[in-house]
Chains A and B, each alone.
Chain A
Amino acid sequence: GQQLNQSPQSMFIQEGEDVSMNCTSSSIFNTWLWYKQDPGEGPVLLIALYKAGELTSNGRLTAQFGITRKDSFLNISASIPSDVGIYFCAGPGNQFYFGTGTSLTVIP
C-alpha cells in the first residue's frame, strides 16, 4: 500500500523557535491533512489541503500542499510548550493513510 514518510522523526527545540516538518509519498495524493496527537488522546485535525500548491494557515501553523502532489509541509512559528506532541500527515487513497509521525518536544 501507499506509505507516507515523515521527517524528521523527532525534534527537540527551544520555546520560541520555528519548526518545519515534511511528509512524502511515493504516490500522488489529491488531499493532504495534518493532525496532532497528544499522549493518551486521539489525533486532532489541524489543517486540510485540497489543491496542489495550496498554502493554508491555522494560527501559528502553516501547511503547504506540494506542487508534485507527493509531498506536504507543516510549519509552526514561535513554538510554545503546548505544541508538544506527535504530528501526523494523512491522505486518502483506496483507504486512509497516515504518516509515520514527527515527535515534537519544546524545551521551555
Chain B
Amino acid sequence: KAGVTQTPRYLIKTRGQQVTLSCSPISGHRSVSWYQQTPGQGLQFLFEYFSETQRNKGNFPGRFSGRQFSNSRSEMNVSTLELGDSALYLCASSLAGGLAVYEQYFGPGTRLTVT
C-alpha cells in the first residue's frame, strides 16, 4: 500500500507570494491533517480535514488555509508569505473512525523556504 505523498518536496518562494502544497493520503484514509515543523516551535498542528470539512484548527493566522477533495486528497495554502513561514510542512492521514483515527501516518513533508 502506497504511503502518504506530498508535492512538491522542496519549494523556494519570496516574501509576499502565496503557495499551495498538496497531499495524497494512504488509500482508504479519509482524515488528513497538516502540521508545521520548525526548529524553534517544533511540530505544530495546523488543521484537520475529514469528508471535505475542516474538523479541527490550530492556532495559526487566517493566511493558512486548506481544503480536502472528494477523493480525500488535500491542499494547504499560505498567502502573503512571511520569512517565519519557512518550515517543513507535514501532512498525515488516518482512518476515519474508532481509535485508529489517532494513528496518523506522515508523508515526507514539503520543505518551504521563504526569502
Across the A-B interface, how many residue pairs have beta carbons closer than 8 Å?
A: 52
A12 at the interface (CB under 8 A from B): no
Instruction: Return the chain B residue nearest A6 by Cβ.
Output: B42
- Which candidate, A17-25, A43-51, A66-74, is the interface stretch facing chain B? A43-51
Q: Is the pair A95, B103 in contact by a Cβ cutoff of 8 Å? A: no
Band of interface residues on B: 20 to 34
Task: Indicate if B45 sits at the interface (CB-CB under 8 A).
Answer: yes
Q: How many residues of A contact B (CB 8 A)?
A: 22
Extra 18 A-B pairs, beta carbons < 8 Å, given A48-B103, A95-B45, A98-B35:
A33-B102, A33-B103, A42-B4, A42-B92, A42-B106, A42-B109, A43-B90, A45-B103, A45-B104, A48-B102, A94-B56, A96-B33, A96-B35, A96-B48, A97-B45, A98-B42, A99-B42, A100-B42
